[in-house]
């Protein structure tokens, strides 16, 4: 394996100059820096992670806390993970995955052992017990989500309240006046996961503003859950002409159930879904959807973490505006 001494010899500089080029701790001329980097590339040199961490007080590792439970849509979560990992590599950082099940103990363990430079936390709840623990850590933190009180911690997420409003406005524009929300699993609401509550609040407020007749019901995963949800909607609001589905796991059984009942989409019932684009376009009916911008949210979380590490002030909360994409599942009221 090539060493820093080999790089210095090939570039015609001292080992300390190579170190400064790598760490950026002292200004080095562009010509010298280019020679050093060319030697690094030619020799295939990789700095020793442990030595680099000792020299710079940095680990070049970000922690990402992810939810892994039975009621979590793992493919969607992995889109966020992929975005974070990809963005972190652009900053020459690796990513250490932690599960939310570890709670505050996991956060304190990796931070106390100086295993990471910063932490990115997903699946945020309204009264999240991890918020006080994050505030006590010396490492900066970024939340993918928005708690009731962020306590000064930077937050990034989709604006779920605005997303609900845009979805309802889209359906109203097609003439629909009776709309039902097919929400996440009851356990999501019971945990106080804020994205679900923010969407429901936005749905409720926009319904009143637009003068729509609406109902909302949580939906258990699977065919039985979908059937129960549809039965409740038919009972509580007969004549519903459109569904707003905020539950990725319900989409396939929902389309299957409607087809089995002989109800066409969008002829008999229009649907707008909140889901990633690849999900919306992979179903038998390509769904009009509000995109879940996992790539943008994950990338922004990493950029915010790196800005904090560099001592730059990051905006307190960044909520990304929704994007509605028209496809084949939403039609005019017949």
Provide the pLDDT for residue 24: 66
- pLDDT value of residue 290: 98
Residues 61-71: tens digit of each pLDDT: 999 999 877 77
Segment 13-51, tens digit of pLDDT: 998 898 888 776 678 898 999 999 999 989 988 775 555
183-208: pLDDT as tens digits: 999 999 999 999 999 999 999 999 99
Mean pLDDT estimate for the chain:
91
Length of the chain: 334
Domains along the chain? 4-47 (1.10.260.40), 61-158+295-320 (3.40.50.2300), 160-292 (3.40.50.2300)
Q: What is the pLDDT of residue 48?
A: 59
Q: What is the mean pLDDT of residues 235-253?
A: 97
Q: Tell me the average pLDDT across 87-103.
A: 87
Decide if pLDDT at 215 tops 90.
yes
Q: What interhelical angle do 15-23 and 4-11 show, nearest 10?
A: 100
Instruction: Output the pTM of the full model.
Output: 0.82
Residues 6+ apart with CB under 8 A from 163: 199, 202, 274, 290, 322
| pLDDT computed for residue 319 by the predictor | 97
- What pLDDT shows up at residue 54? 45
**Structure confidence by residue, pLDDT tens digits, 275-327:** 999 999 999 999 999 999 999 999 999 999 999 988 887 778 999 999 999 99
CB atoms within 10 A of CB 113: 9
């Amino acid at each position: 394996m090539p060493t820093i001494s080999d790089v210095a010899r090939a570039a015609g500089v001292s080992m300390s100059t190579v170190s400064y080029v790598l760490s950026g701790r002292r200004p080095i001329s562009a010509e010298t820096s280019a020679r050093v980097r060319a030697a690094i590339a030619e020799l295939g040199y990789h700095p020793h992670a442990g030595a680099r961490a000792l020299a710079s007080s940095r680990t070049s590792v970000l922690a990402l806390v992810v939810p892994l439970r039975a009621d979590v849509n793992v493919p969607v979560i992995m889109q966020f993970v992929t975005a974070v990992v990809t963005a972190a590599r652009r900053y020459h950082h690796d990513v250490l995955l932690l599960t939310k099940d570890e709670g505050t103990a996991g956060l304190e363990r990796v931070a106390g052992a100086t295993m990471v430079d910063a932490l990115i936390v997903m699946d945020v709840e309204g009264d999240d017990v991890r918020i006080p623990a994050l505030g006590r850590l010396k490492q900066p933190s970024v939340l993918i989500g928005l708690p009731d009180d962020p306590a000064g911690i930077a937050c990034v997420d989709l604006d779920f309240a605005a997303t609900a409003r845009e979805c309802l406005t889209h359906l109203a524009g097609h003439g629909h006046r009776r709309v039902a929300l097919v929400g996440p699993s009851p356990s999501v609401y019971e945990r106080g996961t804020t994205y679900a509550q923010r969407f429901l609040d936005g749905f409720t407020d926009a319904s009143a503003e637009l003068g729509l007749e609406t109902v909302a019901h949580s939906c258990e995963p699977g065919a039985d859950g979908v059937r129960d949800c549809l039965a409740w909607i038919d009972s509580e609001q007969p004549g519903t002409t459109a569904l707003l589905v905020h539950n990725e796991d319900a989409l396939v059984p929902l389309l299957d159930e409607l087809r089995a009942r002989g109800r066409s989409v969008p002829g008999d019932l229009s649907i707008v879904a909140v889901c990633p684009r690849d999900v919306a376009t992979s179903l038998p009916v390509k769904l009009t959807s509000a995109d879940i911008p996992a790539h943008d949210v994950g990338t922004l979380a990493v950029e915010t973490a790196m800005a904090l590490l560099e001592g730059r002030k990051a905006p307190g909360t960044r909520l990304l505006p929704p994007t509605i994409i028209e496809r084949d599942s939403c039609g005019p009221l017949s």
